[in-house]
Amino acid sequence: MSMAPGVDVLDFELPGSKAVAAFEPILVGVVGSGNLEVLLEPQSTPTCRFQVETSARGFGAIWEAVVRDFQQRHSLSGVQVSIHDMGATPAVVALRLAQAIAELPRAQP
């Protein structure tokens, strides 16, 4: 894995119970200072996987709390969430995740 200097790469895989109907990849946000890009894609494993690349190092604990809360609320299954972050605040992260999830087809229980 090639890793740019000064970039943290975080990987979380969490169980989920709500399988999402087939969907085209969803992209919200932009990679720019203080901003981030969130990409949702279908995946075959019945979990929700988060891959976070962030230019702001040392915030792993906050990212973990963010993705755990997200998955606790949405319990997605079969979704990969890729995040490219350029030092966004948690407020921006939450907004982008909310915008992305709103574009998903209604998850099946």
Partner 1 sequence: MGTRDADLPRADASRWDRRARGRHARLARAEESLGAHARGKVVPASLAVEVLSAVIEPGDRVCLEGNNQKQADFLATALTKLDPARIHDLHMVQSVLALAQHLDLFENGVATKLDFSFSGPQGARLARMVAAGQIQVGAIHTYLELFARYFIDLTPQVALVCAQAADRDGNLFTGPNTEDTPAIVEATAFRGGIVIAQVNELLDAVPRVDIPGGWVDFVIQSPTPHFIEPLFTRDPAQISEVQVLIAMMAIRGIYAEYGVQRLNHGIGFDTAAIELLLPTYAESLGLKGKICRHWALNPHPAMIPAIEAGWVESIHSFGSEVGMENYVRARGDVFFTGADGSLRSNRAFCQAAGHYACDLFIGSTLQIDLAGNSSTAILGRITGFGGAPNMGSDARGRRHASPAWLKAGAQQRTAAGRPALAPRGQKLVVQMVETFREHMQPAFVERLDAWELAEQARMSLPPIMIYGEDVTHILTEEGIANLLLVRNDEEREQAVRGVAGYTPVGMARDRRMVENLRDRGVIRRPEDLGVDARLATRNLLAARSMRDLVEASGGLYRPPSRFRNW
The contact set with partner 1 (CB under 8 A) reads 56, 59, 62, 65-66, 89-92, 94-95, 98-99, 102-103
Minimum separation from the CB atom of position 68 to partner 1 (A): 11
Complex with partner 1: residue 19 or 94, whichever CB lies closer: 94
88 half-sphere exposure, CB direction, 13 A CA radius: 24
Minimum separation from the CB atom of position 39 to partner 1 (A): 16
Complex with partner 1: residue 30 or 45, whichever CB lies closer: 30
Give Cα 103 to chain centroid, integer Å: 14
Minimum separation from the CB atom of position 17 to partner 1 (A): 19
Minimum separation from the CB atom of position 58 to partner 1 (A): 9
CA distances to 47, 70, 75, 78, 80 from 15, rounded to whole Å, are 5, 12, 7, 10, 12
Phi/psi at 95 (5° precision)? -65, -45
Please give the full DSSP string across 30-63, using - where no structure is assigned.
--STT-EEEEEEE-SSSEEEEEEEESSTT-HHHH
Complex with partner 1: residue 2 or 33, whichever CB lies closer: 33
Complex with partner 1: residue 10 or 94, whichever CB lies closer: 94
